[in-house]
Amino acid sequence: MSEQSIATAQQKGGGGEMKTSSRRADRLKQVLIALGVAAIVIYCLAPFYWMVVSSLRRTTDVFSNTIIPQPFSMASYEGAFAASNHFARALLNSVIVAGTTTILVLVIGTFAAYALARLDFRGKNVALAVIIATSMFPGIAMVIPLLKIFTDIGWINTYQALIVPSMSFSLPLAVWLLTAFFRQMPQELEQAAMVDGCSQGQAFRLIILPLAAPGVFTTAIIVFVAAWNEFIIALSMTNKPDIRTATVAVSLFTGATGRDIPYGSIMAAGVILTVPLLIMVLIFQRRIVAGLTAGGVK
């Protein structure tokens, strides 16, 4: 065999070894990525899983460390809906407050965001900066002023005392998100509709709104979850069981003696509060992802 043939064979052998090592590196990278994702998923789901498991244990076994409850018991769920906890009424109040807040924020925020995205007027950027700046105030700092105002006008223990503050916290974020979404939509859409005889309002209603559905839907989910989980304002503005929201009602659960903490019932109520949100997000995850990524790439 000539020297040239030997050199060629060595090069081929070296190339094969490089390909093999590259494949091993790729496989190792994929395994590490999979392990990292699995660790993150377990870290995020472990508290929720433990809450579900604890809610399915008997009252005497609530502090057990078993991964699977043995035996299963629905006593904690029955305790959560006990008449003394007023949890059923609190769930209805949460639906009313979160639903009303979401609808009002979407109506006001959509029109405000479209105006900021499409209309040219003096101080537009300043107005947008002020809107987003208002969302930076911590909720706890607003409790005392709001409590004083609502006491003076007789709004304590009313739905509007819960809805108006939730709107003020959610509206700036909704306007910011929707403004960014409307800005990435080409203005030629409205211009083409107006050439066909539509007014600007008709073009907005018939053309822009249907195309903006992913962004509007994503904003609705974010606003609803924020209003559903709100606690500080709801705790401060209510002192009657028939107007409290679910998050406040859970914090006031009492045990059999009135002094013990019903951990099982609290876990069961936490599952009831969390599962509807999880189901809603899982069902509409494609629309949520589409709304969050809209405008990211032109």
Residue 5: pLDDT band (50, 70, 90) is low
Q: Which CATH number is 147's domain given? A: 1.10.3720.10
Together in a domain, 171 and 37 = no
Q: Which of 288, 271, 168, 165 is nearest to 219 (CA)?
A: 288
Together in a domain, 112 and 214 = yes
Whether 278 is in a domain gets the answer yes
Res. 14: pLDDT tops 60: no
Together in a domain, 37 and 95 = no
Q: For the chain, how many structural domains are there in total?
A: 2
Whether 68 is in a domain gets the answer no
Within 10 angstroms of residue 273's Cβ, the number of other Cβ atoms is 19
Together in a domain, 285 and 193 = yes
CB-based burial, 18-38: b 16+ in 10 Å, e otherwise: eeeeeeeeeeeeeeeeeeeee
Least confident of 37-41, 81-85, 258-262: 258-262
Whether 142 is in a domain gets the answer yes
Whether 70 is in a domain gets the answer no
Within 10 angstroms of residue 282's Cβ, the number of other Cβ atoms is 9
Rounded CA gap, 149 and 129, in Å?
Answer: 26
Dump pLDDT digits (tens) for 147-176: 999 999 999 999 999 999 999 889 998 998
Together in a domain, 88 and 33 = no
Q: pTM, whole model, 2 decimals? A: 0.82
Query: What is the DSSP annotation of 95-158?
Result: HHHHHHHHHHHHHHHHHHHHHHHH---TTHHHHHHHHHHHTTS-HHHHHHHHHHHHHHTT-TTS
Together in a domain, 8 and 145 = no
Q: Torsions phi, psi of 181, nearest 5? A: -70, -45
| 129-146 mean pLDDT | 84
Dump pLDDT digits (tens) for 208-218: 888 888 888 88
Whether 236 is in a domain gets the answer yes
pLDDT at 159: 95
Whether 74 is in a domain gets the answer no
Query: What is the span of the domain harbouring residue 251?
Result: 84-293
Together in a domain, 21 and 105 = no
Whether 60 is in a domain gets the answer no
pLDDT at 250: 93
Rounded CA gap, 71 and 59, in Å?
Answer: 11
Whether 187 is in a domain gets the answer yes
Together in a domain, 144 and 197 = yes
Rounded CA gap, 55 and 218, in Å?
Answer: 31
